[in-house]
Amino acid sequence: MLKIRLRRMGARNNPFYRVVVSDSRNTPTASALEEIGYYDVTKNPAQVNIDTARAQHWISRGAQVSPTVKRLLGQVAKSA
C-alpha cells in the first residue's frame, strides 16, 4: 500500500521534513517513489510547500495520507 508521509532530514536539533510517497511496508527513510514537497519547522512561521496536484494524483491512485500530512495539506489549501 502506498502512503504519503514525512521523511525526517536535517541534522540533530535542526529537523527538516520532505513529503514523500512510498510503500508503507518500508521504513520512512527508505527510497521513495516521489518527493512532492517539504516542511521546514525551523523557520518562523514554519514553511510548507506541497504540490497539491501530485498529492491528489497519488490519492486518486489509492495512496493513504498520514494524519500530519493531511493537516499540512489543509494548511496549503487554506493559504492558496
CATH of domain 2-79: 3.30.1320.10
- pLDDT value at residue 43: 93
DSSP 29: T
- pLDDT value at residue 7: 96
How far, in Å, are 19, 43, 75, 76 from residue 28 at the CA level?
10, 23, 23, 22
pLDDT in tens, the chain (80 residues): 999 999 999 999 999 999 999 999 988 888 899 999 999 999 999 999 999 999 999 999 999 999 999 999 999 988 87
- pLDDT value at residue 19: 96
Delimit the domains of the chain by residue range: 2-79
pTM reported for the whole predicted model: 0.91
